[in-house]
Amino acid sequence: MTTSTNSGRSKWKSPSNIALVKYWGKKGFQIPSNASLSFTLSNCHTITELEWEASTELSVEVFFEGRKNEAFAPKVLSFFEHVSNEHPVLKNYRYKLHTENTFPHSSGIASSASGMSALALCVCSMLVELGGTIPDFFQEASHLARIGSGSASRSVYGGLVEWGIHDDYDGSSDHYAVPYKKAHNVFNNFQDTILIVHEGQKSVSSSIGHGLLNDHPLAERRFDIAQQNMEKLKEILDSGDLDKFVELVEFEALMLHSLMMTSSPSYILMEPNTLAIIQKIRDFRKQNGTHITFTLDAGANVHLLYPEKDIDMAKQLLDNELVGHCVNGKYICDNVGNGPTQLEC
Ligand code: PMV
């Protein structure tokens, strides 16, 4: 990092994450309607370099994979406007952002968690360089990341990460995420193979989806169920009960999508191949007694989740049954990772 008060740079690499109990629905500004918990990934990440220069007016320029990107700029500007309400010094700069993902932009993998957490970490480094005091660097980064994208708050830590107030999770907060460190070691090197079923833009964005839940007749019930599932998940994480893990994780994925399908207007993000894959995972599990399971994000792609002991069986399932349902046979191999790292500029 090279810096003076007038100008400087910071650079971070931050991973994406996959939720086991889903955040779906918000109250007020970026406050979750229920707690959620995710695995931080390793290979799917964003690298962002932030350049700042003193200016009388806050402005941003965004370069995505080396090229100026006008489409991303409004979201980044809005992020800076919001976070500068908390850190007014940020208003006195103009920003250049160079960002790239390790996963293809068109792969249908949401980049908001990795992108917004990388940006928030760069901003925290900038605040430190400018002489600000941040009592807990990662907590502040999580708080700022949440302002950009709720799920991004969980990406600033590695392993299992919880976000949202819940009595069973010590130190939990609606404002920032906290790492969950007490899990059984069966969850240590969990694998996530992301099966690409659909590429390109989703028909309904997450922010519209969160909004549609407000008028959903089952919204309140959903928030209660999610809080109960967080309670059950804690027991499962502590005991290492993989049968219960499979049941809960699949329930959460399918509940998320049933809420989408029964929103008004209704929308369906799953594709026929999503369902074909789910069916094959379940059939395979029945026949082979493994703990290979799945979850879904707000999209058609299937996250094939499995413990280390099932790696060989998962490979067999993937090669023999699932790869034919992926766009051009595409999938991304990932696993639980250690969280973000700061890079040299
Ligand atoms: O962070 P957002 O606003 O993109 O919402 C993410 C919502 C889900 O990915 C579907 C669930 C989650 O908890 O990550």
Q: How far is the CA of 306 from the centre of ligand 1 (A)?
A: 21
Question: Ligand 1 within 6 A of 229 CB?
Answer: no
Mutate to test the pocket of ligand 1, among 46, 114, 156, 206 (most ligand atoms within 8 A of CB): 206
Q: Name which of 72, 42, 61, 51 is nearest 3 in CA terms.
A: 51
Report the mean per-residue pLDDT for the chain.
Answer: 95
| CA of 316 relative to ligand 1 center, distance in Å | 30
> Quick check: 190 and 303 in contact, CB under 8 A?
no
Q: Quick one: average pLDDT of 83-100?
A: 96
Report the chain's C-alpha Rg in angstroms.
20
- Res. 245 pLDDT band, cuts 50 70 90: very high
Kindly list the distances between the CA atom of residue 183 and the CA atoms of 94, 130, 160, 202, 238, in Å, as whole numbers in the listed order: 43, 38, 8, 34, 5
Q: What is the C-alpha to C-alpha distance for residues 163 and 51, in angstroms, rounded to an integer? A: 29
Beta bridge partners of 41: 336
Confidence (pLDDT) at 203: 83
Return the pLDDT at 104: 73
- Confirm if 134 and 128 have CB atoms less than 8 A apart: yes
- With a 6 Å cutoff on the Cβ, whether 252 touches ligand 1 is no
Q: Give the model's pLDDT for residue 254.
A: 98
Residues 183-241 pLDDT 10s: 999 999 999 999 999 987 788 899 999 999 999 999 999 999 999 999 999 999 999 99
Q: For position 108, what pLDDT does the model report?
A: 67
Residue 321 DSSP symbol: I
To test ligand 1's pocket by mutation, which of 117, 151, 192 has the most ligand atoms within 8 angstroms of CB?
Answer: 151
Q: Is the CB of 148 under 6 A from ligand 1?
A: no
pLDDT on residue 3: 47
Over residues 8-36, the pLDDT tens digits come to 999 999 999 999 999 999 999 999 999 99
SS (H, E, C) 49-81: EEEEEECCCCEEEEEECCEECCCCHHHHHHHHH
Residues 46, 48: Cα–Cα separation, whole Å: 6
Identify which of 266, 150, 291, 145 has the alpha carbon closest to the alpha carbon of residue 213. 266
* Chain centre distance of CA 345: 25
> Kind of pairing, strands 293-296 and 177-180?
unpaired
The CA 87 to ligand 1 mean position distance, Å, reads: 26
Element housing 179 (H / E):
strand 177-180
Q: Is 22 in the pocket of ligand 1 (CB under 6 A)?
A: yes
pLDDT score of 111: 83
Instruction: Look up residue 3 and give its DSSP letter.
Output: B
Query: Is 80 exceeded by the pLDDT of residue 328?
Result: yes
Q: Determine the residue type at 222.
A: R
Burial (CB < 10 A; 0-12, 13-18, 19+), residue 135, is exposed
pLDDT of residue 343: 98
pLDDT at 4: 60
C-alpha of 148 from chain center: 12
**Which atom of ligand 1 sits closest to the CA of residue 110?**
4
What are the phi and psi torsion angles at 344 (to 5°)? -70, 140
Ligand 1 pocket member 117 (CB < 6 A): no
CA atoms of 223 and 220, how far apart (whole Å): 5
Task: Identify whether 217 is preceded by a cis peptide bond (ω within 30 of 0).
Answer: no
Task: Check if 230 has its Cβ closer than 6 Å to any atom of ligand 1.
Answer: no
Is the pLDDT confidence value at 66 over 60? yes
Residue 345 has pLDDT above 50, yes or no: yes
List of domains in the chain: 2-183 (3.30.230.10), 188-335 (3.30.70.890)
Q: Which of 98, 3, 95 is nearest to 46 (CA)?
A: 98
Distance from C-alpha of 3 to C-alpha of 25, rounded to nearest angstrom: 40
pLDDT of residue 184: 98
At 2 the pLDDT is 44
Answer whether 33 contacts ligand 1 (Cβ < 6 A). Answer: no
Three-state SS at 119: helix
> For a pocket test of ligand 1, which of 14, 22, 29, 222 has the largest count of ligand atoms closer than 8 A to its C-beta?
22
C-alpha count within 13 angstroms, C-beta hemisphere, residue 162: 26
CA of 289 to the centre of ligand 1 (A): 31
Q: Is 195 in the pocket of ligand 1 (CB under 6 A)?
A: no
